[in-house]
Amino acid sequence: MFFLLLIMTFVIAAAVAYLVIRLFQKSVTTILNRVLKDEISIVWWRYLVFALYVVGISGGVRIWELEKYIAPRLEETESIVLNTERWVLEIYRTIIGTLQSLAWVLLIFFVAALIAFVIVKARETGKESKEVKLA
């Protein structure tokens, strides 16, 4: 039962990460193309996808929490039994953990992108004002 739970939490976390990545794909690629204006934006998108999968799956599949099903704690004499209620709780924890981890990564990305966008916009405005003065 433990191995099935481990596999299920991994699959669910990967599926949730996939859905979130697909949901934000257009907006993130638009931001990367606007800020970077180069082919390197594709590389950054691939890295961000990789990071989102890693963080999402590791946030959803909490190994230290799943250990309670195979090893008893000090105060307990036997390990916790995996029944239907525990399965539902673990699946819910997996979904919420994955979404929470992905939300943090995307928040950090969007804050960094906002700062980069302001810098790019300021440079473009500076170039335009210099061109107007020269003309």
**One-letter amino acid of 70:** I
pLDDT band at 82 (very low <50, low <70, confident <90, very high): confident
pLDDT at 53 over 70: yes
Instruction: Give percent of the chain with pLDDT exceeding 90.
Output: 53
In this structure, of 34-38, 43-47, 97-101, 130-134, the range with the lowest mean pLDDT score is: 130-134
Quick one: average pLDDT of 41-53? 94
32 CB-near residues (< 8 Å, 6+ apart): 41, 44, 45, 113
pLDDT at 58 over 70: yes
Q: Is the dihedral of CA 60, 65, 71, 77 positive or negative?
A: negative
Please give the tally of structural domains in the chain: 1
Q: Which of 77, 80, 76 is nearest to 89 (CA)?
A: 80
* Residue 51, domain extent: 2-134
For 62-86, b/e burial (b = at least 16 CB within 10 A) is eeeebeebeeeeeeeeeeeeeeeee
In this structure, of 9-18, 67-76, 115-124, the range with the lowest mean pLDDT score is: 67-76
For residue range 8-45, what is the model confidence (pLDDT) as tens digits?
999 999 999 999 999 999 999 999 998 887 788 899 99
Task: Give pLDDT, residue 78.
Answer: 64
**One-letter amino acid of 30:** T
129 CB-near residues (< 8 Å, 6+ apart): none
Q: Which of 86, 28, 89, 100 is nearest to 57 (CA)?
A: 100
Top-confidence residue, 114 or 79: 114
Task: Give pLDDT, residue 49.
Answer: 96
